[in-house]
Amino acid sequence: MRDTLKLLPNELTGMLHEAIRSAQADASLPAFDIPALDVRPSKRADQGDFSVAVMALSKLARGNPLDIAQKIAAHMPAAEFLAATEVAPPGYINFRVNPVWLKAQVNAIIAEGDQVFQLETGQGKRAQVEFVSANPTAPLHIGRSRGAIVGDAVARVLEATGYEVQREYYFNNAGVQMTNLGKSLRLRYLQALGDPIDENELTYQGEYLKDIATKLVSERGDALRDSDWKPFKEYAETEMFEIIKTTLKRVDILHNQFFNENSLYDSGAVWDVLKELEQKGYTYKASVPEDADAEERADAGDKGEAIWFRSTQFGDAKDRVLVKANGDPTYTLPDIAYHKDKIERGFDICVNILGADHYVQHQVVRHGVTALGLDASKIHVIIVQIVHLLRGGEKVKMSSRKGDFETLDDLIDQTSADAVRYGLLARTSDSHLNFDLDLAVKQTNENPVYYIQYAHVRCAGIFREAALRGVTDDGADLNLLGDAEMAFLRKALELGEVLELAASHLEPHRVAFYALELANTFHPIFDNVRVLHSEVPPEVAKARLRFYRAAQVILKRVLRLMGMTAPEVM
Partner RNA sequence: GUGCCUAUAGCUCAGCGGAUAGAGCGCUUGCCUACGGAGCAAGAAGUCGGGGGUUCGAAUCCCUCUAGGCACGCCA
- List the interface residues with RNA, window 81-100 (CB under 7 A): 88, 90, 92, 94
Look at the alpha carbons of 402, 403, 407, 411 in this order and tell me if their dihedral is positive or negative. negative
Size of the site for RNA (CB under 7 A): 91
Q: What is the full DSSP assignment across 303-336?
A: ---EEEE-GGGGT-SS-EEEE-TTS-B-SHHHHH
- The reply to whether 454 sits near RNA by the rule CB under 7 A is yes
Give least dist CB 13 to RNA, A.
Answer: 14
Q: How far is CA 346 from CA 127, 256, 349, 351, 399, in A?
A: 9, 17, 9, 13, 38
Q: In this chain, which of 507, 549, 557, 559 binds RNA, going by CB under 7 A?
A: 507
Secondary structure (3-state) at 459: helix
- The reply to whether 330 sits near RNA by the rule CB under 7 A is yes
Q: What is the full DSSP assignment across 71-117?
A: HHHHTPPP-TTEEEEEEETTTEEEEEE-HHHHHHHHHHHHHHGGGTT
Residues from 137 through 166 that contact RNA (CB under 7 A)? none
Give least dist CB 221 to RNA, A.
Answer: 33
- The reply to whether 242 sits near RNA by the rule CB under 7 A is no
DSSP state of 249: H
Q: In this chain, which of 33, 266, 295, 328 binds RNA, going by CB under 7 A?
A: 328
- The reply to whether 451 sits near RNA by the rule CB under 7 A is yes
Q: In this chain, which of 291, 465, 483, 539 binds RNA, going by CB under 7 A?
A: 465
Q: Please name the residue ranges forming H helices in 26-89.
A: 57-61, 65-74
Site string for RNA, 413-432 (x = CB under 7 A): -------------xxx-xxx
Residues from 256 through 295 that contact RNA (CB under 7 A)? 286-288
Stretch in the footprint of RNA (CB under 7 A) among 206-214, 231-239, 344-352, 449-457: 449-457
Q: What are phi and psi of 186, to 5 degrees?
A: -60, -45
- The reply to whether 41 sits near RNA by the rule CB under 7 A is no
Give least dist CB 490 to RNA, A.
Answer: 15
Q: In this chain, which of 256, 258, 359, 377 binds RNA, going by CB under 7 A?
A: 359
E strand or H helix that includes residue 452: helix 448-469
**Residue number, 216 or 542, with CB nearest to RNA:** 542
- The reply to whether 300 sits near RNA by the rule CB under 7 A is yes
E strand or H helix that includes residue 11: helix 8-25
**Residue number, 32 or 331, with CB nearest to RNA:** 331
Give least dist CB 468 to RNA, A.
Answer: 8
**Residue number, 275 or 285, with CB nearest to RNA:** 285
Point out which residues pair with 86 in neighbouring strands: 94
Q: In this chain, which of 31, 34, 441, 570 binds RNA, going by CB under 7 A?
A: 570
Q: How far is CA 144 from the centre of its chain?
A: 14
- The reply to whether 520 sits near RNA by the rule CB under 7 A is yes
d(CA 548, CA 542): 10
**Residue number, 91 or 162, with CB nearest to RNA:** 91
**Residue number, 76 or 213, with CB nearest to RNA:** 76
Nearest to 424 by CA among 470, 388, 452: 388
Give least dist CB 125 to RNA, A.
Answer: 24
- The reply to whether 516 sits near RNA by the rule CB under 7 A is yes
E strand or H helix that includes residue 463: helix 448-469
- The reply to whether 49 sits near RNA by the rule CB under 7 A is no
Per the CB < 8 A criterion, the answer to whether 29 and 68 are in contact is: yes
Q: In this chain, which of 509, 546, 556, 557 binds RNA, going by CB under 7 A?
A: 509
Start-to-end C-alpha separation, the chain:
32
- The reply to whether 48 sits near RNA by the rule CB under 7 A is yes
Residues from 165 through 194 that contact RNA (CB under 7 A)? 172, 175-177
d(CA 411, CA 441): 9
Q: In this chain, which of 26, 43, 279, 394 binds RNA, going by CB under 7 A?
A: 43
Stretch in the footprint of RNA (CB under 7 A) among 97-105, 451-459, 490-498, 555-563: 451-459
- The reply to whether 376 sits near RNA by the rule CB under 7 A is no
Q: In this chain, which of 149, 526, 557, 562 binds RNA, going by CB under 7 A?
A: 526
d(CA 69, CA 86): 9
Q: What are phi and psi of 50, to 5 degrees?
A: -135, 150
- The reply to whether 467 sits near RNA by the rule CB under 7 A is no
Per the CB < 8 A criterion, the answer to whether 208 and 138 are in contact is: yes
Q: In this chain, which of 111, 298, 386, 441 binds RNA, going by CB under 7 A?
A: 386
Q: In this chain, which of 110, 433, 480, 487 binds RNA, going by CB under 7 A?
A: 433
Stretch in the footprint of RNA (CB under 7 A) among 44-52, 121-129, 198-206, 265-273: 44-52
**Residue number, 206 or 423, with CB nearest to RNA:** 423
E strand or H helix that includes residue 284: strand 283-286
DSSP state of 386: P
- The reply to whether 394 sits near RNA by the rule CB under 7 A is no
- The reply to whether 441 sits near RNA by the rule CB under 7 A is no
Q: How far is CA 498 from CA 82, 149, 510, 517, in A?
A: 20, 18, 7, 12
Give least dist CB 238 to RNA, A.
Answer: 19
Give least dist CB 193 to RNA, A.
Answer: 30
Per the CB < 8 A criterion, the answer to whether 441 and 414 are in contact is: yes
- The reply to whether 303 sits near RNA by the rule CB under 7 A is yes
d(CA 61, CA 458): 52
- The reply to whether 306 sits near RNA by the rule CB under 7 A is yes
Q: How far is CA 253 from CA 111, 301, 502, in A?
A: 28, 47, 19
Secondary structure (3-state) at 357: helix
Q: In this chain, which of 6, 75, 340, 358 binds RNA, going by CB under 7 A?
A: 358
- The reply to whether 381 sits near RNA by the rule CB under 7 A is no
- The reply to whether 298 sits near RNA by the rule CB under 7 A is no
